[in-house]
Chains A and B, each alone.
Chain A
Amino acid sequence: MSEKITGAEALMRALEHEGVDVLFGYPGGSIMPTYDALYDHKKTLNHILVRHEQGAVHAAQGYARVSGKVGCAIVTSGPGATNTVTGIADAMIDSTPMVVICGQVGVAMLGTDAFQEVDVVGVTSPISKWSYQIRRAEDVAWAVARAFYIAKSGRPGPVVLDFAKNAQTGMVEFEPAEVDFIRSYDPDPDLNMTDIERAAKMINNSVKPFVLVGQGVELGNATEELRTFLEKADLPCGTTFMGLSTIPSDHRLNMGILGMHGNLGPNVMTNQCDLLIAVGMRFDDRVTGNLATYAKQAKIIHFDIDHAEFNKNVPVDLKVWGNCKETLAAVTKLLDTSKHTSWIEGFKPYAEKEYEKVIDKALHPTEGPLLMGEVIRKVSEAAHNEGIMVTDVGQNQLMACRYFKFTQKRSVVTSGGLGTMGFGLPAAIGATFGAPDRTVCLFVGDGGLQMTIQELGTIMEQGAPVKIILLNNNFLGNVRQWQEMFFAHRYSFTPMVNPNYELIAKGYGIPAKTVIERKDLDAAIAEMLATPGPYLLQCAIKEEDNVLPMTPPGANIDEMLLEL
């Protein structure tokens, strides 16, 4: 008979068994037995004390995105748990594998409106992949094993474990559990060879094929398979924001970004191709624009692991269900080696037009205040286009996605589906733990930085090497742009009265500098990257600049505005 340990200690061993090495968290009453157990596991479970529980979940997300592992956050009950809700919803919509462990009052107190009692399973069920209350120490091993299996398998997502206090203190003989099968859940569907053959035939017969690449390719570890697939049949592609680093920015077949603030060529060609091949993407409205006119001329094939995504927003002619690592490889085998030279050439005039009207102006201004685009591209290049791009939300995000360049996979950490302001700073902290050898560049606005600015304390304590590029335009810029375009310039509560960010950073012991003039930019970026550890580089950005091109909300995706 093995020794008896507490449920809290069992949790520690179960986490170690799952290979967890970093936890982002914040203690409190209902999780104290677990924190007590953690005290003896500090060597194996590196606990990072954040400054707000929202920071813990976003950090776990950042960690998961760059590492491909399951991110882990641990918080107390009640307000600690509710503070994680935004991050859980964000991870759900962006398919980020994460396990959030919340303290909970003891089962004897459940339902009594006890101090710091919240129905966490009720609150999080609709926004998580699985949410479960651990009521007995005996259930810890199984629940943790099931949680990690669900979080990382199939289409990944967040799992919540609501850990009742009595289950933390109860005694149990611990034996790590293995979960690799759940009868009601099929994350690894068998290949359907009929569909594979049909897909190959449709692609072989296509004259004007176009591939839409989403984050699913990276999540399925299928970047190599995608590349071979594209190259063998000479298939041009566009990527979503979430899929940006799936294929190098300068790859011959990468035509650019899809959607509202993407590139002109891929959006126009979406409505001209004869075959649209979507891989690991979900036809978000920011990508499709008006569905009534979206790719109506084309046949559509959809590769996805999540069966519920098929025909959800866009009706498709063929669905290929499965992990794209397998499905793409199987289809590739049946593809003819072909060339689509003139079709691919057809993207060029659009790229040239966009370059002339938008990109050149964004990257090479000769006068006036700094622009976001030039700052972002310079940072990207100074980091040899090998950095990790973390963004907050707003113009800073759209511009970073447009102008940062990628040569490495798993380099995009952005809040795509939820658009969570305040995501950037804590997610960047997480990214430094998930990819300690890489340069983590955070692009953040003056609005979003203040939503989770307290995490500068975490950066200070950990010395987390986040390169914070604050694109300060003294506005809630993205909302201001919409007010300019669609609300007759009425700037209702979008001007930002800003504090002295350099002073704030210095208060946290983080080196900081502000750049106002263009001539100082290169040296400032070089200094930021040469300085070990964290750094805040504030750039004074043109106040009323707009992100272009843009497909107005609800408009046809090929009707992009290149200028206002």
Chain B
Amino acid sequence: MEQDTTKLYTFLIYSENVPGLLSQITAVFTRRQVNIESLNVCASSTPGAHKYTVTAYCDERMARILTSQVEKRIDVLQAHFYTDEELFINETALFKLSTPAMMKNREVSSLVRSYDARIIEVNSTYSVVEITCFPDVIISLFDQLKKMDCVLQFVRSGRICITKSRVEHLDEWLAVREAKRKATK
């Protein structure tokens, strides 16, 4: 039997800030039958550059292909893929919980506290709980709250990550490109 080599990979993609790129990037994944698990897009620390954080299950060969096909799009600066060990990872989740249900079952509050989650709003109808942590922890908290029948709404931000590497690949590469621009002139 063939071994299942699929893993959750995180793709960090940097692009110029131009409209229409998001659909180009997602199309690279969907066309190859890879579902995107989570997606976060924001400005990066490099002026003018946007950062996309994409997670998807695939094997390493596919991760390589996806990365190079994304990078091939004209306005994409760089794309890399990582396993969880190579990253600092965080995700934020918000829970909207029923206050009457919480009143009835005291274990809800102690569970929330045991996860170091913060209660950011309480009124007679609902309470809002916020947690920022490793994604698996969020899932485990959700599963337990769900069993207690108190969840009105639940939302996750999708992961955000920072590389553990001591090398800033994007900055180094941009410096090389800048040198080439000068040489072209």
Q: Which A residues fall within an 8 A CB radius of B?
A: 121-122, 125-126, 129-131, 150, 180-186, 306-308, 310-312
Contacts and interface: CB of A to CB of B under 8 A. Distances in A.
A131 B181 CA distance: 24
A181 B77 CA distance: 13
A88 to B, nearest CB: 15
Sort A-B residue pairs by CB-CB distance and give the 4 closest, nearest first: A308-B68, A308-B72, A184-B77, A183-B177
Contacts of A126: 24, 27, 31
Given A126-B24, A186-B177, A311-B65, 11 more contacts: A121-B20, A125-B27, A126-B31, A131-B20, A180-B184, A181-B184, A183-B77, A183-B178, A184-B74, A308-B68, A311-B61
Contact of B24 (A125, A181, A312): A125
Contacts of A312: 65, 68
A81 to B, nearest CB: 16
Contacts of A308: 65, 68-69, 71-72
A138 B65 CA distance: 38
A485 B64 CA distance: 38
Given A126-B31, A183-B174, A150 B23 contact: no
Looking at A122, A130, A181, A306, the one whose CB has the most chain B CB atoms below 10 A away is A181
Contact of B64 (A125, A181, A311): A311
Interface string B74-86: 1111000000000
Given A122-B23, A125-B23, A307 B72 contact: yes
A184 B23 contact: no
Interface string B163-180: 000000000001001101
Interface-central residue, A186, A306, A310, by most chain B CB under 10 Å: A186
Nearest to A184: B77
B54 to A, nearest CB: 17
B27 A130 contact: no
A184 B77 CA distance: 4
Contacts of B61: 311
A125 B20 contact: yes
A310 B61 CA distance: 12
B76 A184 contact: yes
B15 interface: yes
Given A181-B180, A308-B68, A150 B24 contact: no
B27 A184 contact: no
Nearest to B185: A181
A310 B16 CA distance: 24
A307 B15 CA distance: 18
Interface of B: 15-16, 20, 23-24, 27, 31, 61, 64-65, 68-69, 71-72, 74-77, 174, 177-178, 180-181, 184
**Main SS at interface, chain B:** helix
A418 to B, nearest CB: 16
B74 A185 contact: yes
9 contacts: A122-B20, A131-B20, A183-B77, A183-B177, A184-B16, A307-B71, A307-B72, A310-B68, A311-B65
B177 A307 contact: no
B69 to A, nearest CB: 5
Nearest to B24: A125
Nearest to B28: A126
B51 to A, nearest CB: 14
Nearest to B174: A183
B11 to A, nearest CB: 15
Contacts of A182: 74
A194 B181 CA distance: 24
A517 to B, nearest CB: 51
Given A126-B27, A150-B74, A311-B64, A183 B69 contact: no
Given A122-B23, A308-B69, A312-B65, A129 B74 contact: yes
Contacts of A184: 15-16, 74-77
Contacts of B181: 181, 183
Nearest to A150: B74
A475 to B, nearest CB: 34
A310 B65 CA distance: 9
Contacts of B184: 180-181
Contacts of A130: 74
A307 B68 contact: yes
Contacts of B69: 308
B134 to A, nearest CB: 32
Nearest to A121: B20
Contacts of B15: 184
A497 to B, nearest CB: 38
A306 B72 contact: yes
A311 B177 CA distance: 25
A122 B20 CA distance: 8
Contacts of A311: 61, 64-65
A311 B74 CA distance: 20
Contacts of A186: 177, 180
A379 B41 CA distance: 58
B24 to A, nearest CB: 5
Query: Which of B24, B74, B77, B178 has the most chain A CB atoms inside 10 A of its CB?
Result: B74
A122 B15 CA distance: 18
A186 B65 CA distance: 18
A131 B68 CA distance: 19
Contacts of B174: 183
Contacts of B77: 183-184
Contacts of B65: 308, 311-312
Contacts of B177: 183, 186
A126 B72 CA distance: 12
A416 to B, nearest CB: 20
A122 to B, nearest CB: 7
A121 B23 CA distance: 11
Nearest to B70: A308
